[in-house]
Amino acid sequence: MRAAGAILRKDLQIELRTRQSVPAMALFSVTVFVLFHFGLDRDEIEGSLASGVLWVTLLLATVLAVSRLFAAEREDGALDGVLLAPIDRTAVYLAKAAALFLYLVLLEVVALPAFAILLLGPGLGGAFPELLAIVLLADLGLAGVGALVAGLAAETRLRELIVPLLLLPLLVPVLIAAANATKPLLMLNPAATDLGKWLGFMALYDIVFVLLAVAVFDFLLED
Amino acid sequence: MSDAIALEGLERNYGDRAALSGVTVSVPAGATLAVFGSNGAGKTTLLRVLAGLLRPHAGSASVLGSKLPDEAWKVRGKVGYLGHESLLYRDLSVRQNLEFHARLHGVTGVDEALAAVGLERRAGDAIRELSKGMVQRAAVARAILHDPPVLLLDEPRANLDPAAAEALEPLIGRVSGRTRVLVSHDVERSLAEADLALGLRAGRQEFAQRADETQVRRLYS
């Protein structure tokens, strides 16, 4: 945990200095919402359409962050410096997943209000506790799988292709669960139908993929 | 003196190409092995294998009694690696980089390391803002921060002015008392500070002994 904490702290220091990942994700999301606003030619959307637009946008913004998750390590062989340290390499995964989780939370602080202002008919306020639970569980899944894929692609030349091609199919279950869980909350008359089922599904997905990633990540960083 | 490094028939390939083939050499603790060879001879590959960053494909390799690659985790933290790249984060300051590595290695002594390489006054500057010579000094500080008994040095004096190179001698030079594997194209100086010389040509070992300058020069012809 000491090593994971050190790597996470370092990642946050770099993000604070460079302000690259989170602002890019936020700007991308807001831009997509604006595009939908004009593309759909509607001031307000609700239900499954709203839920789908929200989660597909957040998913694509996640791809941006995952692509850059090991960017600092690729410069000047910095990853070798980490691999030379007497640490369990799982610490690298845990730190990267935690950093991505924090980036996603920060993204949503910007993206959710922007979505509500630009596209959403019904307000988000009434369903906030339920939405918070959905978002946090979805973020855990996005971060867990995102860090795994980022590690897999870290040392490959085709990472710009590998990340979206590998990440998006793996995240389809999260998208289905999050979109279905969110859909009733974004209706004109919010109702938390089947919320427990979808939250349980996402929690199971998170546990399975985080355990899988912890088991295999050491091998991903091997020569 | 026990051997700090022992290689026997070491092989390492990149695809079909042999980067190292049949390398056999032993380095006693505290001694310096100078590695010579033209570009692409396998010198950097050898250092990366010894650091545990690359797996040997055949033969045996051990560092401080730990077999590679099975016991690479024991070797990590006991070698100081100074390669072509600084292994530092460009967007972090020198101090942030050293504090990060100190945390990873579970050691302190960042201030001492900064003082030893003469970067106290530039400690707050980002690596990307430093000259190449200063980046090299920061890389030296990173490499010796955890006081490793073995140093793997790839052109350690690159980009350093004579005064800086002299100032870093106690840290990475022969007087440091550490076991060293030294890769340098400065044949004269390397031979002067080496106990053993290893000559590589296209990954194959030409010699591993007390080499004379003529023999080394022949490698580059």
Arithmetic mean of pLDDT, B37-41: 90
Mean pLDDT, rounded, of chain A: 92
Higher pLDDT pick, A39 / A188: A39
Q: With 60 as the cut, is the pLDDT of residue A140 above it?
A: yes
pLDDT at B137: 96
For residue range A50-86, list pLDDT tens digits in order.
Answer: 999 999 999 999 999 999 999 999 888 899 999 999 9
Mapping DSSP to helix (H, G, I), strand (E, B) and coil, where does residue B120 land? helix
Cβ of residue B88 closer than 8 Å to a chain A Cβ: yes
Find the farthest-apart pair of alpha carbons in chain A and give their distance in angstroms, rounded: 57
pLDDT at B152: 97
Domains of chain B, CATH where assigned? 1-78+149-159+176-221 (3.40.50.300), 86-147 (no CATH)
- pLDDT confidence tier of residue B99, bands split at 50, 70 and 90: very high
For residue range A183-195, list pLDDT tens digits in order.
Answer: 998 887 766 678 8
C-alpha triplet B159, B161, B163: angle, nearest 5°: 145
Arithmetic mean of pLDDT, A93-117: 96
Q: With 80 as the cut, is the pLDDT of residue A3 above it?
A: yes
pLDDT at B175: 84
A6–B73 CB contact, under 8 Å: no
pLDDT at B219: 73
Core vs surface per residue A23-33: b (16+ CB within 10 A) or e: ebbbebbbebb
Arithmetic mean of pLDDT, A11-28: 95
First to last CA, chain B: 35
Cβ of residue A85 closer than 8 Å to a chain B Cβ: yes
pLDDT at B187: 87
Is the separation of the CB atoms in B86 and B135 below 8 Å? yes
What residue in A sits closest to B14 (Cα-Cα)?
Answer: A223
A6–B104 CB contact, under 8 Å: yes
- What is the reported pTM? 0.91
pLDDT at A10: 96
pLDDT at B1: 56
A3–B100 CB contact, under 8 Å: no
For residue range A195-217, list pLDDT tens digits in order.
Answer: 899 999 999 999 999 999 999 99
Nearest in space to B149 (alpha carbons), one of B36, B50, B35: B50
Residue of A76, A83, A155, A221 for testing the chain B interface, max B β-carbons within 10 Å: A76
Cβ of residue A39 closer than 8 Å to a chain B Cβ: no
A17–B126 CB contact, under 8 Å: yes
For residue range A148-165, list pLDDT tens digits in order.
Answer: 999 999 888 888 899 999
Chain B residues 121-140 within an 8 A CB cutoff of chain A: 126-127
pLDDT at B211: 63
| Residue A125, burial from CB neighbour count under 10 angstroms (0-12, 13-18, 19+) | exposed
| Residue A158, burial from CB neighbour count under 10 angstroms (0-12, 13-18, 19+) | exposed
